[in-house]
Structure 1
Amino acid sequence: ALANGRRFVRGPINPSLNESAGLLVDGFDTDPMVMMPHNPPEYADYIESAGYRKVKDLFAWLYDIEREVPPVVGRLALRVRDRERVTVRPLQLSEFAREVERMRAIYCGAWEHNWGFVPPTEDEFRRLATELKPIFDERCAVCADVDGAPVACAIAIPDINQALKGTNGRLFPSGVIRLLRRTRYIDQVRLLLVGVLPEYRTRGLYPLLLFELQRQVRGGGYRRAEFSWVLEDNRDVNQPAEQAGARCYKRYRIYQKALA
């Protein structure tokens, strides 16, 4: 690594920040949601004893979907929708390929200057979307269009881990049947992507997206939502999440160590 000009080693990241990342350091009393890591508490001591130090924490927020939206958030969301000529709509699986490309454009634009971000290729983003499509619920995603152009999105996926837990780690020969039966018990979602293009961030679209998403998700019978992961210094997401009544219930840590 040194011979190739590398100065630091950083992780755990699998294989980039576009997928699972971080070591769980707080919040061991609940199961991980879909595509989130989990590990024993002592792993942090092992890593730190090897000379690694914290470089960034990632938050997971838990939100009770059944709670009433604070009036101030609801009023702000409605005011933004009317003032900014925003149309909030669900994602359309019938236009899957086009919607995936729209979401990738928003994701890359919204995250461009975020710490550690590497834009996913078209193939990488399409592969991930295709893998998630079988568990996707159209009620768990919204897109905001301004004058007909997509500028923001919020995408959640049902926590399939709740159903997988009943299979004892085996899908064959009878695990698939148990998995299908247990999908009706899924009552939580993971919000894995919230993005607003930079030129629209001052227009209040974050509260509007979360307000509309909660309304749709609640109609699907879901009770809880996890927002994850979120950079510890991302005020654009952390502040609205806290104001809406979510609580930061898990923390994941990315470590770094100098090579010389």
Structure 2
Amino acid sequence: MRKIEFTPVASKRDRREFVDLSYRLNGSDPNWVAPLRMEAIELVTPGKNPFFEHATVHQVIARDGGRVVGRISAHIDHLAVAQPPEQGMGPGTGNWGLLEAEDEDVAHALIRHAEDWLRDQGMTRVLAPLSMSVWEEPGQLVRGHDHPPTVMMGHQPARYAQWIESSGGYSPTKRLLTYEIDITNDFPPLIQRIVAAGEKNTRIRIRKVDKSRFDEEARLILEILNDAWSDNWGFVPFTEAEIAYAGKKFRPIVFEDLIMIAEYDGEPVAFMMTLPDLNEALAPLKGRLFPFGWAKLLLWLRKPRMRTMRVPLMGVRKRLQASRTASQLAFMMIETIRHEAIRRYGATRGEFGWILEDNQGMVAIADAINGHENRAYVIYEKAL
């Protein structure tokens, strides 16, 4: 009988094996974009990723006859556990993610192992996959396998969804969507009129971020984000360490004319973050900066030209969200960035997401600017 053994990730060598497996299992997928190995290792390393400062994490490697055949991370985000249960997380909720497996038997064994560990830690419910925080790569890809993901979006084999569902007890609890937009086309006349009216309103100012005050601007954006998203399903606040970490990671791909802050009566009340699709530059590197990858990437970052822009985050302060001003500010920021993306970077395509399927406000904005759903991810739930 086949005997699968589990070994916890405890050393640098273990982490390399944990990370290397994804390259081996996904390397033949033409639409999988290999992350830089140094970043993939940093993600799963205590002391590097500040997620570990507020989470208990159990990462394991599955072996069959000594050969690595799978991996998984089971984890408890203590900030998520402290959230109100009606917002999706809450007491007793644990997670697993970073699943990779050679076959269905291995996947089932890994999921059972993660569930057993979570039960031993006192968890009564699991939401998965989350790799690892909800702010990183949540959900299992169920639509959109026919094209590469944009920067900081996950891309898992379609068979993994089947294996999760066949492992027993899992049901979809949330769908996360991305919307694709042809940004070379003008927006519909109604949206143009809304933007034009906003431009005449002296109480509204749309400005670029100031990269010379990067830390201050990053803190402002994340403060608006924590307020704007605080009632959303799955919300977990950013910590001070995570704000600093996010700023460090984003800085190389932050361009002032692609991130807007909206002010109302002089107060910053909304933001829109747009990132050039770094995956277009990363794909040919196959996860390695050496010997020549670093030079290619540096040249691209100095003068990026890309097809796609991704909007990973935008938000309006909670007190304005039910007002017409909120959608007006959103459309104004979108239109300003659309023009800059075309003029300065040669972009032709935009992608919004992820967006919760039941976030009516954001779905309405995507529909209003002729966006269409191009990728969908599922987060599953199971009682333990």
TM range (shorter): over 0.9
C-alpha distance in 2 between matches for 1:87 and 1:134: 26
Matched AA of 1:218: I
Contact 1:163–1:185 (Cα < 8 Å) also in 2: no
Aligned counterparts, 1:122-133, within 5 A:
122-133=240-251
User: Which stretch shows the higher mean deviation, 177-186 or 12-21?
Assistant: 177-186
| 2: CA distance, partners of 1:249 / 1:91 | 29
Letter matched to residue 369 of structure 2: A
For 1:192-220, what per-residue CA distance to the aligned partner results, in whole angstroms no more than 9, with x for missing partners?
11100122221132222222221222222
Name the structure 1 match of 2:306: 186
Task: Give the Cα–Cα distance (whole angstroms) in 2 for the partners of residues 161 and 71 of structure 1.
Answer: 33
Compute the displacement of 1:137 (Å).
1.5
Paired residue for 2:219, among 71, 81, 101?
101
Superimposed CA distance per residue, residues 28-68 of structure 1 (whole angstroms, 9 cap, x where no aligned partner): 11101111000111111000011211010000111111111
Q: How many residues align?
A: 259
2:198–2:204 contact (8 Å) kept in structure 1: yes
Provide the C-alpha distance between the structure 2 equivalents of 1:16 and 1:167, rounded to a whole number of angstroms.
26
Output aligned runs, 1:56-67, within 5 Å.
Answer: 56-67=174-185
Q: Which residue of 2 aligns with 1:25?
A: 142
Aligned residue among 346, 368, 384 for 1:243: 368
> Are 1:118 and 2:236 matched, yes or no?
yes
Find 2:155's aligned residue among 38, 53, 76: 38
2:340 partner amino acid: Q
CA contact (8 A) 2:209 2:260 kept: yes
Q: For residue 163 of structure 1, what is the aligned residue in structure 2?
A: 281
Match of 1:208 among 323, 327, 332: 332
CA distance in 2, matches of 1:189, 1:167: 20
1: CA distance, partners of 2:201 / 2:239: 35
Q: What is the deviation of 1:186?
A: 2.1
Moved more, 125-134 or 176-185: 176-185
Task: Give the secondary structure class of the aligned counterpart of 1:108.
Answer: helix
Q: CA deviation at 1:251?
A: 0.2
Distance in 2 between residues matched to 1:176 and 1:97, nearest whole Å: 25
2:54 corresponds in structure 1 to none
SS in 1 for 2:243: helix
1:8 counterpart residue number: 125
Q: Distance in 2 between matches of 1:78 and 1:3?
A: 58
Alignment partner for residue 225 of structure 1, among 315, 329, 350? Answer: 350
**Counterpart selection for 2:255 from 97, 113, 137:** 137
Distance 1:100 1:185 in 2: 24
Contact 1:18 1:120 in 2 (8 A): no
After TM superposition, the structure 1 stretch with the greater mean CA deviation from structure 2, 243-252 or 215-224, is 215-224
CA distance in 1 between counterparts of 2:199 and 2:122 reads 49
**Residue type of the partner of 1:222?**
A
Q: Percentage identity across aligned positions?
A: 35
The letter for the 1-side match of 2:140 is: L
Q: What is the TM-score when the length of structure 2 is the normalising length? A: 0.64
Are 1:69 and 2:187 matched, yes or no? yes
Letter in 2 for 1:194: M
* Aligned counterparts of 1:200 and 1:83: Cα–Cα separation in 2: 16
Following superposition, the deviation at residue 245 of structure 1 comes to 0.8
- Greater relative contact order, per chain length (Cα 8 Å cut-off, separation 6+): 1
Tell me which amino acid in the other structure corresponds to 1:253.
V
Larger Rg: 2
Can you give the 5+ residue segments of structure 2 that lack an aligned partner in the other structure? 1-117
CA contact (8 A) 2:260 2:273 kept: yes
1:75-134 Cα deviation digits (max 9, x unpaired): 112223434711000111011111011101110111000001011112202211211111
Distance 1:178 1:141 in 2: 25
